[in-house]
């Protein structure tokens, strides 16, 4: 029953999500609307049973104590979104894994591949305190390690270099 409750908690309601162009437009699930402490309690309960349970990056960081509030995570998402949507070539992809906040793709990077593959991808993560990972453009069968970006100032300063990474 706990697994069912959690899957409903992270379920994105509304077909409009597929048309979302920013993370803010996808914040419709229970984990986004319910009282933060209640969300955190339920997440910790499901995480104790299933450490790999899907959850937004900010909720994992909140549970680990590396973010102080859900709003802090939203602020990171919104600032990254503002930076990338102001640049040509970046597209927000609202559908990811269950519970995920979506990710951005740098579509022009696909031109560097001889055959169709995966464009340069930026996603938010709880893996480190910079919250941002970039995965360079690569063929579909490859699986390159993410490049840790040390926050928005680092992203802003190095975005052109990250966009030009070769496979």
Mean predicted lDDT score pLDDT of the chain: 92
Q: Single out the residue of 141, 135, 143, 145 nearest to residue 165, CA to CA.
A: 135
pTM (2 decimals)? 0.92
pLDDT-derived band at 19 (thresholds 50, 70, 90) equals confident
pLDDT in tens, 111-125: 888 888 999 999 999
Strands 147-149 and 132-135: antiparallel
Strands 117-118 and 90-93: unpaired
* DSSP-assigned beta bridge partners for residue 104: 92, 122
E strands, 13-56, where? none
Write down the domain spans for the chain.
Answer: 2-163
Angle between helix axes 2-10 and 36-49 (nearest 10 degrees) is: 130
Average pLDDT on 23-43 reads: 94
């Amino acid at each position: 029953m706990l697994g069912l409750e959690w899957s409903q908690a992270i379920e994105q309601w509304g077909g409009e999500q597929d048309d979302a162009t920013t993370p803010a437009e996808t914040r419709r699930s229970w984990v986004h609307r319910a009282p933060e402490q209640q969300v955190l309690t339920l997440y910790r309960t499901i995480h104790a049973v299933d450490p790999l349970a899907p959850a937004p990056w900010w909720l994992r960081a909140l549970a680990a104590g590396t973010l102080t509030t859900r709003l802090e995570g939203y602020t990171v998402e919104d600032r990254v979104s503002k930076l990338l949507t102001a640049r040509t070539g970046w597209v927000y992809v609202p559908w990811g894994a269950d519970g995920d906040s979506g990710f951005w793709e740098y579509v022009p990077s696909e031109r560097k591949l001889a055959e169709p593959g995966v464009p340069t991808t930026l996603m938010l993560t709880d893996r480190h305190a910079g919250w941002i990972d970039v995965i360079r453009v690569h063929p579909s069968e490859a699986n390159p390690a993410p490049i840790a970006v040390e926050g928005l100032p680092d992203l802003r300063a190095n975005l052109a270099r990250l966009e030009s990474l070769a496979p």
